[in-house]
Every structure is written in C-alpha cells, then in structure tokens.
Chains A and B, each alone.
Chain A
C-alpha cells in the first residue's frame, strides 16, 4: 500500500506496532486537519510505559502536531480538527467531554523553545503544584527542591530561587521547564525538540536527564538528531508527510529498517 506524492512512494501509516511491556498510551488511526489541509493521515502509535519513545522525520511531517494532539494542546488552534482515538488506560483522551485539566496534568509538555513563566524560579515550579493541590509551605519547598534536583538544575539556582525564571540562560530555562513539568508528577512527559535551542553541553545534560526520568516517567521526544534518538530512546517512530512510516525498537530501526524511506532518512540520503 502506498501513494505516490511528488515522485515519491509514501507508504500508508504502519500497523506494525509491537512493544514489550505495558502500553501507557495508544494513538489509534488519527487523522488531523488544519482547516482544509490534512496534516496527519491514519497515524497510530503505542507509547510504552517507563520507556522513551522518539519521533523522527523531516521538518513539517507532523511530529509536533501529533505530540500536541496527545495532550489536546491543538484544541487551542481553532482551525484544527481531528478524527481517531487516543486512549490512556481506560481514559479516552479524544472524548468530547474529556477533562482537559486532568489530561494536561497527567501528560506534561516541554516545548521546543523554553518558555518559563515571567515569575520567580520558585513560582515557576510551585505554580502548577498549587494549581492542583494545597501543599503547606514546607511541603511545597520540599517539592520544589526535589523537582529542581531531578531536573539537574538545583545546584545552579539554589541561592537564587527568587530571581525571575526568564533571567536564566537558555539551557537552564529548558531544565527549569522540565522541573516545572515533573513537579506535578505527570505519567507522561512530551518533549518537542527540547534541545534545539541548546549547546552540546546543555544537550548532553538533558539527554542524561531523560535517561534518568525514564525510571519514573514515560517520555515521548521529538528530535531532529538521529544520534540523539539512537542514544536516548527505546522505541522510534519515523514520520513522513503526515504518515507514521515505520515504528519499532530503536536498535531495529537504526540497524535494519523495514522501509526503504526510513533507511534513506536515517542514513542522510534524502530528498
């Protein structure tokens, strides 16, 4: 099954979706349109629990779109409309009457550009917690310290918790955003090119962090770097023109891809 688009045979979205262990979240046959333009075509994706799933593919293929559908961030775009289901356990995320607050609390997101609140570092991390819980001051202090430590930024900000979050460097801001996300202990963390604005050292720190986070959280990461995908992820999905061309274990995709297209993409012989 394939379609010929611009001289290229683009296979339909794959149905071979085997993962070991538990599945935390399942995207099933998702079609998505921005106004009249279709951006996702029958995409399915299983997300394994306590593992890192990487999404790769050329620019504009719909990786961010897919990610933003998982925590219903696309609902903020009025022209966006979709069909298909996403389920997490027995919760249907795509249901009309789904509780968006609960969904976004359980599925945190780290954006491509670091976007801390224009509040203090302390407030940045504490805000989400206080949104959903009523911690005492001591409890909150403890959570904030723990989250910042887990995001590997504590040592840098411990004595400036009351400076503005926006006054940090780009890499620090991104780790602050990660701390903000993990402070409310979501089940899944979605990361959209979290390292694209960072230098190699900060990137290495975040990669290490992702491997660390995997123990407690399920991580989905979009990346343009093949080597990063190979280093941090357990599963990889390759997307092309809105299709999930191939999905399998990362070792398998990088050593022995099933699709010709995937092979050409990861070896850099593309387009």
Chain B
C-alpha cells in the first residue's frame, strides 16, 4: 500500500546513526572525564596519607608569586583623532640601585585610544629595552624587571590619575589608574552605546515576541519587503560593534545581541507575513506564536544572551568600588575590589563552563546508558560521598593536579585557570547528583511515548528526558555555583594572593603572563583580619558585592530553569 506520508522527503538514516553514535560517545566521554577526576582525587588523598616516603610534594603555592613585574595602566588617551599629542606625554622616571651605581631612566608613554594595544618594557642591567612606547587606554602593560633589586617608578609629567592628589603614581603599587572618564570624555564614548543599543533592541524585540499584541507589532509591519536591507544593516552593525569595540568580551556580546536581534526580527516578520497571507489578523496572538519558526528557541537564546550581556556590557562602565579601584593598602576607603571581582568572575566562569557539561553528561551516562553493574554502583557511591567532601580537600587536589608540575600535575601554577578547574571539580559531584535525581524523576510513560513514535535513545534523551529534567538540573547547578562562589579555603591552597593590584589574566597559565589573582572571599578574609576598623567596613561592602555577583551569575541558570519549567507546566 502506498502511503501519503511517503511522498515527503525522508530524513537521512545515516545522519541519524552518526548523530546517535556521536551523542552517546560524547556522553561516555564526559563520564570518563568525570571518573578520571574521581580516581585521581581518591588517589591523591590516599597517597600522602597511606604511602610512606612520599613527602614534601604538597606545599603552599605562594612561592610562585613573582616580585619583579610592575603593571601600569592609564585611562585618558592623550592623542586626538589626528594622532597629535593633546597633552604632554606621560614620562615615568625609573630608578634602581644597579651594580655600577644608581641608574635613572626615563620612559615616555603615549596613551592612544586603541584599547588593547600595548608594549611591555624590560628592565635589565643594561637599562630599559625602549624609552618610548604607545599604549592603548585602559590597557595594562608590564614593566618586567630581571633585576633582583627594587625598582622605583615615579611620574614626572603628563595627565595625572585623579586618584592621586599629589601628582605621583601610587608609591606602593606602581599601578596608575585613571578615573571614569570613558563614557563622558573623548571620542571613545560612541563605541559602548553601540553595544548598549544592540542589547536594548534585543530586549525590546524579546518582549514583543513573548507578549505580542497588535499595537506592539504595528511598527514591524513597515519592515515588510525590506528583509534584504535589514539583513545587511544588522550584519554591518554587528561587525562594527565587534571591530570598534576591539573584540573585547562586551563588544563580542554586543555583536551577538545584534545578530540574534536580526534573526529574530526576520523570523517575526516572516511569521507575520505568513499570517496575513492566510488572511488572518495579527491579533490572533497564539497563531503568531506558532507562525514564528522556532520561537521557543529564539526566546531562550535571547533571554540567556540578554542576561549574560547585561552582566558584561556594563563592565565597560566603571563602578568605582567594583570595577575601577584596586586595593590601596594605605587608604581603606579608597580601596576597591577590581582585581578580586574580575578574579571571581573568571574563576566562576571557568568552573561552570568546565563542570556543567561534564557533570550533566556524566549524569546522563550513569542514569540512561550505563548498565547497572557493580562498577557503576561503586562509582555511584563514590560520587554520592564526594558531594560531602570538605572543600579544603578539593584545594589539595587542585594543588596536586592543576597547580604543580610533574607527576599527574598539569603545572598551571597558582593561576586563575587552575583555580577555575579546581572549583569546577568541586562543583561536579553536586551537579551530577542533582541531575541524576532530576533524570530519575522523568516519568517512564514519557520515555515510552517517545520510543513509541520511533525515537532512538539519543533522541529520547535530547528531546524529552533532558528538557523535562532541565529545571532540576539547573537547580543543582545553581546550588553548586552558590557553594563554590563563597569558598575561600580551596583557593588559599591553590595559591590565590592577598594583594593583587592589576587585572587578572584568565589564560595567563597558558600564555605565560602574570599568574597572580585573587577572589572576593579571599579579599574579604584578608580584610577582616586587618586590625584597622575601616577595613572591616570594606570587607562588609565586598560581601555585598559577592552576593550581588552571585545573583547576577545565577540569573543565567534561573532563566534557563524558568524557561523549561514554564514549558512543562504552563
């Protein structure tokens, strides 16, 4: 018998099989990675405890802190659009006690508007590697000293950072930081608005698409037939945002906002046109929802992008305490938590990026794929117990496997990367357990109905089980994230520093930059242990910042959770 449905184009079975294989393979892989960490962790605890002759391997990591790098940064470009000097160039006088007597050298710095441009200066017995450099605004550059004597830096001329009334850069730190001039002065002000505009457009469109009414849609009617122009303009805007913003994270997110805005706009217009071609009114909201292809997915991505961009784009605007000022060891009230703030952001981002996919994959593998053998049960028991292991133990583990070189150590040093990975491993058992619980509570009838229409196992997991389990998985991730964000102990072991006076570099361990970093809990810890009362107030302020940051980062997971929850039972 010839069926009507067979006139349709068939889906490729080969592709389905390939996807199936790839899907289960990636799950198995994440299971393996998780298991690897587990085995190493257990082994790591066992070796120093039970095996003799293994001593001195684990020691605090603070010995890595280099003493000879000085980081400087200015905010104001002192060239105008034509490239002429607007003010006198900045001149630093660098002096030190050399072997052949006192050395004095001048370094001339021209701060340009190109964020990101930089040149480092080497200080050696022969003097400076160069006497004049160009550095982008808000870009830090290094004075790298190979001497083993202290080097002092003094600013002789040029625009003076507002923070220091005496006209000198901070004696203690050699960090010279500008003020909040970016948004209001100089030609650079136009660039951030481009990011903000992309963000706002996406926000407005997301709102319209989630709650369409005829009035809100009316402006879009005018776009009919201009799809090609819209596509072009938005592509240009996206490219401009990224290029002009010097490909920083926020510029990149701004560009993404534009792109998603474009896709959503075109789909919406297409849906509206289809609706009107059928001779229906735009007010039939439900039909419009259905008319926009992949509306659910678009909304999900927009919301996630909006929330994460809402978090990064404003970082261009300096909030003095949070993102402008470093710690000033002499003036508590002039201190900020800039480096700790960025340290926490980076550590958490790396931790979640690493742990979420691996843990969710491992949970799916354990719950859906692995046969209930004795090995599986053993692993299950280990994971359950791991969730309760004190955090300091994870710190030791991180020290051995990520920080130290040699043996199983990756030798990343006391860096952000090592800290992020350590925290990620700490989050894993919590996420795995919560995800397993969520997967287990997906009713069997749902799986049966999916298999009943001819799903493969991977399709059942991807299309049905995972979306149903998503709220639970996200709850687990939020819990894990909250737990690790407040942790100081493991990072003390891994080697977070007490005083960091520059922005941390997330990938320093790979690119060979400055490894030092700190995070907010550690900053709080050190401030509370200061005798002066003013520091305690600053610690309190930092705690509030930590909580706000936690809420901001969690909101991405919360958006995801609400999205799936609403889909399941509205």
Contact = CB atoms under 8 A, between A and B. Distances in A.
Contact of B452 (A120, A163, A181, A187): A181
Contact of B454 (A78, A104, A120, A177): A104
A109 B289 contact: no
B5 interface: yes
A128 B10 contact: no
B10 A118 contact: no
Interface string B131-142: 000000000000
A117 B446 CA distance: 7
Interface stretch (A11-19, A25-33, A51-59, A135-143): A135-143
A161 interface: yes
B446 A118 contact: yes
Interface stretch (B70-78, B166-174, B327-335, B562-570): B562-570
Interface string B534-568: 00000000000000000000000000000000011
Interface stretch (B186-194, B197-205, B455-463): B455-463
Nearest to B9: A134
A192 B289 CA distance: 35
Contact of B11 (A109, A127, A133, A163): A133
B463 A105 contact: no
A167 B463 CA distance: 20
A187 B445 CA distance: 23
A101 B286 contact: no
B468 interface: yes
A185 B450 contact: no
A264 interface: no
A229 interface: no
Interface string A152-193: 000000011111101100000000010011001101000000
A185 B449 contact: no
A133 B8 contact: yes
Interface in A64-83: 71, 73, 76, 78
Interface in A89-133: 101-102, 104-105, 108-109, 111, 113, 115-120, 122, 127-129, 131-133
Interface string B162-186: 0000000000000000000000000
B414 to A, nearest CB: 47
Interface string A196-217: 0000000000000000000000
B500 to A, nearest CB: 48
Contacts of A118: 446, 467-468, 567-569
B4 interface: yes
Interface residues of B, number: 39
Is chain B's interface secondary structure helix, strand, loop, or mixed overall?
helix
Interface string B272-302: 0000000000000011011001000000000
A217 to B, nearest CB: 10
B3 interface: yes
A143 B5 contact: yes
Given A104-B451, A104-B452, A180-B453, A135 B446 contact: no
A66 B570 CA distance: 37
B449 A135 contact: no
A134 B5 contact: no
B88 interface: no
B447 interface: yes
Given A108-B453, A131-B454, A164-B570, A185 B5 contact: yes
Given A76-B447, A115-B448, A134-B8, A105 B569 contact: no
Contacts of A101: 16, 454-456
Contacts of A129: 5, 8
A180 B449 CA distance: 10
Contacts of B267: none
A127 B463 contact: yes
B461 to A, nearest CB: 13
A210 B464 CA distance: 28
A76 B449 contact: no
Nearest to B372: A78
Interface string B76-115: 0000000000000000000000000000000000000000
A122 to B, nearest CB: 6
Interface in B347-396: 371-372
A120 B566 CA distance: 12
Contacts of B450: 117
B5 A109 contact: no
Contacts of A161: 286, 290
A181 B453 contact: yes
B3 A185 contact: yes
Contacts of B454: 101-102, 104-105, 128, 131-132, 184
B446 A132 contact: no
Contacts of A166: 569
A56 B548 CA distance: 64
A73 B8 contact: no
Given A104-B453, A118-B468, A131-B455, A111 B448 contact: yes
Nearest to B467: A118
A194 to B, nearest CB: 13
A135 B448 contact: no
Interface centre among A101, A109, A185 (most CB of B within 10 A): A101
A127 to B, nearest CB: 7
A122 B567 CA distance: 14
Interface string B477-489: 0000000000000
A198 B205 CA distance: 44
Interface in B1-26: 1, 3-6, 8-11, 16
Contacts of A184: 5, 453-454
Contacts of B289: 162
B9 A131 contact: no
B452 A162 contact: no
B459 A73 contact: no
Contacts of A134: 8-11
Contacts of A105: 453-454
A133 B447 CA distance: 21
Given A132-B10, A162-B290, A109 B446 contact: no
A111 B445 CA distance: 9
Nearest to B444: A76
Contacts of A131: 11, 453-455, 459
B97 to A, nearest CB: 74
Given A104-B454, A116-B449, A181-B452, 12 more contacts: A73-B451, A73-B452, A111-B445, A117-B446, A117-B449, A127-B463, A131-B453, A134-B11, A137-B293, A159-B286, A177-B449, A185-B4
22 contacts: A73-B451, A76-B448, A101-B455, A104-B453, A108-B452, A109-B452, A115-B443, A117-B446, A128-B453, A129-B5, A132-B10, A133-B5, A133-B10, A135-B8, A161-B286, A162-B287, A162-B289, A162-B290, A167-B570, A181-B453, A184-B453, A187-B1
Interface of A: 71, 73, 76, 78, 101-102, 104-105, 108-109, 111, 113, 115-120, 122, 127-129, 131-135, 137, 139, 143, 159-164, 166-167, 177, 180-181, 184-185, 187
**3 A-B pairs closest in CB distance:** A128-B453, A105-B454, A133-B8
